[in-house]
């Protein structure tokens, strides 16, 4: 996998997730950040910081991105969500248009 195909997502507490750009693009918000014309730091450095999303939630979101790609290719499994995470996850999903 070439480095250009990866993006870095950084949680509020500084934890870094390096994932496929294709997976990250599942989020409309991240897609806009990475593809918007001009020289946003996000576009240039291929990384996005989320000061309002905790590590636990961001990890779950990355899992969702990959699950979503699998689903789209025909592997329709269930995506498990821990009850205690649901509300926080939903707010993040709302922000990420996911």
Partner 1 sequence: MGGACSRKRDQQVDEDNIHRGFSGRYCKSGSSKWLGSSFSRSLSDVKQGIGKSPSLMELCTYKICEAIHNYGSFSMLPRDVSQQIFDELVYSQRLNDVILQAFRDCALQDLNLGEYPGFNDSWMDMIASQGSSLLSVDFSGSDVTDAGLSHLKDCTGLQALNFNYCDKISDNGMAHISGLSNMTTLSFRRNNMITAQGMSALSGLVNLVKLDLERCPKIHGGLVHLKGLTKLESLNINCCNCITDTDMKPLQGLANLKALQISSSKVTDHGVNFLKALHKLELLNMEGCPVTAACLESLSALGALLYLNLSRCNLADDGCDKFSRLQALKVLNLGFNEISDAILVYLKGLTNLESLNLDSCSIRDEGLVNLAGLSRLKCLELSDTEVGSSGLRHLSGLGNLESLNLSFTVVTDGGLRKLSGLSCLRSLNLDVRQITDTGLAALTSLTGLTHLDLFGARITDSGTNYLKCFRNLRSLEICGGGLTDAGVKNIKDLTSLALLNLSQNSHLTDKSLEAISGLTQLVSLNVSNSRVTSAGLQHLKPLKNLKSLTLESCKVTANDLKKLQATHLPNLVNFRPE
For residues 47 to 66, the per-residue mask of contacts with partner 1, x marking binding by CB under 8 A and - elsewhere, is: -----xx-------x--x--
24 contacts partner 1 (rule: CB under 8 A): no
Residue 83: how many CA atoms within 13 Å on its side-chain side?
Answer: 0
- CB atoms inside a 10 Å sphere around CB 43: 14
Residue 36 engages partner 1 in binding (rule: CB under 8 A):
no
The answer to whether 90 contacts partner 1 (rule: CB under 8 A) is yes
Q: For residues 61 and 52, give the distance between their C-alpha atoms in angstroms, rounded to a whole number.
A: 13
The one among 13, 35, 45, 72 contacting partner 1 by CB under 8 A: 72
């Amino acid at each position: 996998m070439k480095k250009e195909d990866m993006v870095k997502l950084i949680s509020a507490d500084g934890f870094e997730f390096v994932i496929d750009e294709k997976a990250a693009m599942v989020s409309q918000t991240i897609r806009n950040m990475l593809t918007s014309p001009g020289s946003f730091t996000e576009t240039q450095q291929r990384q996005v910081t989320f000061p309002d999303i905790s590590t636990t939630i961001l990890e779950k979101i990355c899992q969702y991105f990959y699950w979503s790609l699998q689903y789209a290719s025909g592997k329709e499994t269930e995506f498990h969500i821990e009850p205690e995470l649901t509300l926080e996850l939903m707010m993040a999903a709302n922000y990420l248009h996911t």
